[in-house]
Every structure is written in C-alpha cells, then in structure tokens.
Chains A and B, each alone.
Chain A
Amino acid sequence: MSQTDQIDTRHEQPSFEALSRWLSMMEVYHHAINVVRCQLPQTATLVENSVREMSSRFADLSSGIKQQSNAVRQISEMANSLEFGNEQITLEEFTNLFSETLSNSIEKIMFVSKRAITMVYMLDEAMKSIATIESFVSDIRNITKKANLLALNASIEAARAGELGKGFSVVADEVKQVSETIRQLSDSINERINVVGQSVRDGYEVLSDVATTDMSENIMAQDKLNTLMDSLIKQKQNFSAVLQDSASASDEISNTISGMVMSLQFQDRTSQYVSSSVRLLEYMDSTIAEFGAENRRSFPDIANVKMDGVLAEKIAQQFSLSEFERMFRASINGTDFDNLCLNQTAENTISTSAKPEMEDIELF
C-alpha cells in the first residue's frame, strides 16, 4: 500500500499507543494554535499602529522641513535686495548706482579744480592791469608836478616882465589850476584803484583757499569704497551659494521622507499576510480537531485521552512574553480565553500610542 492511501481505520488494528500519543499532543497544539491565532493579529495591529504613528511623525517632519526651506528662500531673497526709498533694489543695482554717484562726484571735483585754476590766471591778469594803471597814475602825478613847476617859473618870469607880463601871469595861474584839478583827479583814481586792487587781492586769497583744497584724498577714497562694494557683492554671492545648497538639501530631505512614507505602506500587505496565516492556522486547528473527534468516536478506548501535560509545560516555557504564557494556560484551563485575548489586543492598541516606559518593556 502506498503512503498516500488513506488509513482505513475499520479494517486495520491501529497502534493505540501511537494514536493516544498523537491525540494527546494534538490537544496541546490546539491550545498553542489558539495563542498564535491571538498573537498574529496583534502583531498586525502593532505594526499598523507603529506605522501610522511613524507616518504621522514623518508628515510633521516633512512640513517642518518645508517651513525651514521657505524661511531659507526668504533669507536668500532678502540677502539680494535692499530697501531704497520706496523701492526694492538688488545689491548689484545699488553698487552700480553707488559707483556712478562717486564717478560723478569726481568729475565735478575735476571740473571745479579746472575752473579754479582758470580763475587764478584771470586774477593774475587783473592784478597786472591794476599794476599798470597804478603806474599810469604815478606818471600823471609826475607830469602835474612838472606842470606846477613850469607854472611857477612862468609866474616869476611874468612878474619880472612887469606890465607886459600880466597876461602871461594869468595863463600861468590857469595852468596851475588845471594842474591842481588833474592832481586831485589822479588822487581819486588812485584811491579807487587801491580799493579795486584790494578786492582783487582778497578774491585771490579766497580762490587760493578753494584751489588749494586738495581733493586727491577724497578721490583715492573712492578706490577704497569700490573695493568695499566688490567685497559686499562677493559676500552676497557666497551667501547665496550657501543658501542655495541649503535649499537643495532641504528639498532632498523632503523627497527622502516622502519615499520613506511610501515604503511604510507595506503594512497593508502585513495585514494580508497575517490574515492568511491566521486562516491557515484555523484550518489546521479544525482539521486536527475533526481528526481527533473522529478517532475518539471510532475508538472508545482512547476517547478520554488527556492532553500531554509534560509537553504542555515545555511549550508554556517557549513563550518568552508572559502575557502569551498566561493566555496559553488560560486556553488550557478553559478560563475566559477570548476575553483575555481581546483585553490584550486593547492594551496593545493603547500602548503603541503612549510612549513606552522602560520598565514596561520585557527583556528577552
């Protein structure tokens, strides 16, 4: 007879001992299967809860990172622009404006310098003219002095000539008068020229102050300012580069987190795997029970075979978590196993949402 043929229990003498042993083992395994049937769904629940928890934390993390990323972008924008009156201008625009303004100032300084020197030369000419006029006036005075002398001589000659010289004497007097008038005029001119001369000299002093004011230092200062502007721009560019890196890094982190959340969705399959395992166990359990019942009916001698206590004890010690050991014993004792399983499930559902204290975790 091949091994696949069913055992015909009506025609053969079974080994009662072997059968008894099997029945007694199967009793134990029935209880063990009960515990596993309770354990597995709880595993699924635990995983489901943890995953839900993790997903929610990752969502928080992701939104935190997005916030940070936005903040970084804002800083980046702020670094690039300045408020200028009512407008926003970029740093580059600002430095260009600055440079232009400085160049403009320098042009004006140069223009003023040129005009000041021109004025110096013009005043030089004015002073020369004044000097010329002064010498003319001096000449006039010399001439009037000579004229006076001549008039005096003429008067003396006229007096010597007596009656004949009377007419001559009158002319001499007139000459003296004219000479006097001219002298007075030249005095007035002299006064005026002195005033003008003084004004020109005063003007010259003021102009000297202006023209000697050396602006070369101010011009050189522009060089320093240009260097400063350049380094400001360089700094901003470095800054922008760093911020750009930061923004990219944040984006990458966000993407990674999204990926992680997606791969956490495996918990769907976990439930399915667990369900099918439980169904398989249930089926195993029912076929074992059926077989056992059938044998007990067919062979009254072994109808009352009890569970193998020694094996039961060995298996009880296999459970590393005491809660499952309790369940196993409860199943054996027939005490309210279903409630115990439900309570345990409820406990596990709560405890995954609370933070576990170190004392609650059993060490293996």
Chain B
Amino acid sequence: MEYTINSHENGTSIQMSGQFTFADTHNFKPILDLVSGGKVKTISFDFADVTFIDSAGMGMLLLLRDECQSRKIPLSIHSTQGQVQKIFHISKFDKLFSIH
C-alpha cells in the first residue's frame, strides 16, 4: 500500500491506497513513530482506496490503537468499503475504532 500524510493544525490525516498486507510492515513504521514521538494531536485515516487488508494489516492498526490510547490521541478510520468494510464488521473493529 501507499500513503500520504497531511498535517494541519487540527490534526493529521493519512490517505491510504492499495492492499494493506504484511509486506507493508516496515512501510507502516514511520506512522507508528509519528504517534509515539508525540507529533500528532489527532489522527484519521481515509481508506476509500484501500482494496484489501489482511490480518497482519489489522494487527498493525491494533498496535497503532494501543499507542494512541496510551497518549489519549483520538484515532478514526473512514470511507471503508468492500472487503475492508466486511472484515472490519465481522471482527467488530467498529467497537474498537471510530469507524465511519
């Protein structure tokens, strides 16, 4: 997958596209570092162009969530569709993340 980060005053938004899989583990690290470095106020993901997510990708999101929770940074994911929306629903991600 690829992503672009947009930071503004109110918070950081990240637009992601492609397939989010284990192969993106190193790719994802900078996003984690952003949060653990205390460099963001809020963080929101635009998943409109994410076509697929596997269990490793979901694991990365859960890890990010842990970091956000411990720093009280609000995390949200929006515009999920297709396989991503379905798997989020089945694994009750809407209870863990603010999904819309």
Which of B1-9, B71-79, B87-95 is found at the contact surface with chain A? B87-95
Judge whether A219 is part of the interface by a CB distance below 8 angstroms. Answer: yes
Query: Contact partner of A114 among B21, B59, B83, B87, CB < 8 A?
Result: B59
Judge whether B34 is part of the interface by a CB distance below 8 angstroms. Answer: no
CB distance from A225 to the nearest CB of B (A): 10
Judge whether A275 is part of the interface by a CB distance below 8 angstroms. Answer: no
Judge whether B86 is part of the interface by a CB distance below 8 angstroms. Answer: yes
From known contacts A110-B91, A220-B90, infer whether A211 and B56 are also in contact, taking CB-CB under 8 Å. Answer: yes
Contact between B90 and A106, CB atoms less than 8 A apart = yes
From known contacts A117-B63, A223-B90, infer whether A211 and B58 are also in contact, taking CB-CB under 8 Å. Answer: no
Query: Contact partner of B55 among A118, A120, A121, A216, CB < 8 A?
Result: A216
From known contacts A103-B92, A214-B54, A216-B54, infer whether A110 and B87 are also in contact, taking CB-CB under 8 Å. Answer: no
Contact between B87 and A216, CB atoms less than 8 A apart = yes
Contact between B25 and A117, CB atoms less than 8 A apart = yes
How extensive is the interface on chain B, given as a class? 20 to 34
Q: Mark A183-212, 1 if CB is under 8 A from B, else 0.
A: 000000000000000000000000010011
- Once the chains are docked, how many angstroms separate the CA of A193 from the CA of B60? 30
Which A110-125 residues have C-beta < 8 A from chain B?
Answer: 110, 112-118, 120-121, 124
CB-CB nearest in chain B for A121: B29
Judge whether A109 is part of the interface by a CB distance below 8 angstroms. Answer: yes
Residues of A within 8 A of B26 (CB): 124
Contact between A214 and B91, CB atoms less than 8 A apart = no
From known contacts A120-B25, A211-B22, A219-B90, infer whether A110 and B54 are also in contact, taking CB-CB under 8 Å. Answer: no
Shortest 5 CB-CB contacts between residues of A and residues of B:
A113-B59, A215-B55, A214-B54, A114-B62, A114-B59
Residues of A within 8 A of B59 (CB): 110, 112-117, 211
- Once the chains are docked, how many angstroms separate the CA of A107 from the CA of B96? 11
CB distance from B43 to the nearest CB of A (A): 18
CB distance from A204 to the nearest CB of B (A): 11
- Tally chain A residues at the interface, Cβ within 8 Å: 26
Contact between A113 and B55, CB atoms less than 8 A apart = yes
A-B contacts, 20 of them at CB < 8 A, read A103-B92, A110-B55, A110-B62, A113-B58, A114-B59, A116-B59, A117-B59, A117-B60, A124-B29, A211-B25, A213-B55, A214-B54, A214-B56, A215-B54, A216-B55, A216-B83, A216-B87, A220-B86, A220-B87, A223-B90
CB distance from B67 to the nearest CB of A (A): 11
Residues of B within 8 A of A116 (CB): 56, 59
- Once the chains are docked, how many angstroms separate the CA of A208 from the CA of B22? 8
Residues of B within 8 A of A223 (CB): 86, 90
Residues of A within 8 A of B22 (CB): 208, 211-212, 214
- Once the chains are docked, how many angstroms separate the CA of A211 from the CA of B28? 15
Query: Contact partner of A212 among B56, B60, B92, CB < 8 A?
Result: B56
